[in-house]
Structure 1
Amino acid sequence: MRDYFSVIKKYADSEGRARRQEYWMFCLINVLISYLFLFIGEAIHDDYALFAVYTSLTVIPSLMVTVRRLHDTNRSGWWMLVAFVPLIGAIIGISVMMEDGTSGDNDYGTDPKATPGSI
């Protein structure tokens, strides 16, 4: 949950770098909360309103953590556009997100693994 809330706190911050753990934990918790709202919405018959509100509130943090994750691999945030390439784009995008970050400093900041207090 710490990684999820750290992404939410950096709501519109595309500066710096995000470790794999921060990115993937945010994705996991985000999906779980989304499904929770889907199930709650289904139970109270609200036609996906809760899910739509939650999704709209987390679009920007999701994009920003993706940009910071790309920065950790020393890539520009524009690499997100590779997802629009049919079929191969998703494969390339997932493989880039699974790569280990650049050791030491890179063009986008200091190594988050080397920062005291980060896990």
Structure 2
Amino acid sequence: MSFPDAIKSVFSQYATFSGRARRSEFWFWYLFLVIISAVGGILLGIVGSASLDTATGTFGAGFYVLTALISIVWLALLLPTLAVMVRRLHDQDKSGFFWFMTLIPLAGPIIMIVFYATAGTVGPNRFGPDPKGLQAPAGQYGAPAV
């Protein structure tokens, strides 16, 4: 799955928590978030430095408007981000509730990165068909023997 295809896929499944997501879809989405963050941070730095009144230590209105716009963008991206995280866990035949492991200090995020980087189950699982379109050999990975 290419970068544009992954972004389209996540947006087309904006709030869909069912189904499965490939690793490429998940990691390209995170690359998209990093790019959005970098662009937002650079713009905020430029506008902030241009609108800073050094005498009073306050920013101009443009800085606050841009901050509000960036916050709205992040809120708009929160739901598809949670959805793709849950679908990525589904690809490994794990419940979406595993996401709450992220909240465990220190170890939680590391465990989740391992989960997100691990290959999904081959063939269909309880959350749907393999997003790669692969079928498990008969008798393996829960595939019925023929």
TM score, norm. by length of structure 2: 0.74
The size of the alignment, in residue pairs, is 115
Deviates more, 1:41-50 or 1:81-90: 41-50
1:51 is matched with which residue? 70
Contact 1:37 1:50 in 2 (8 A): no
**Structure 2: which amino acid aligns with 1:9?**
S
Instruction: Tell me the CA shift for residue 87 of structure 1.
Output: 0.9
Which of 88, 95, 106 does residue 87 from structure 1 map onto?
Answer: 106
What TM-score do the two structures reach when normalised by structure 1? Answer: 0.90
Which whole-Å deviations, capped at 9, do the CAs of 1:13-33 have from their partners, x for residues lacking one? 011100000000000111111
Aligned-partner Cα distance in 2 for 1:56–1:41: 17
Q: Which has the larger radius of gyration?
A: 2
- Indicate whether 1:27 and 2:46 are aligned: no
Q: What 5-or-longer segments of structure 1 have no aligned partner?
A: none
Could you report, residue by residue, the CA deviation over 1:82-111 in whole angstroms, capped at 9, with x for unpaired residues? Answer: 011111111111000000000000010000
Higher RCO, Cα 8 Å, sep 6+: 1
CA RMSD of aligned residues (A): 1.3
Q: Deviations over 1:29-63 (max 9, x none)?
A: 11111210121122223243332121111000000
Alignment equivalent of 2:79, drawn from 46, 60, 66: 60
Deviation beyond 4 Å, 4+ runs, structure 1: none
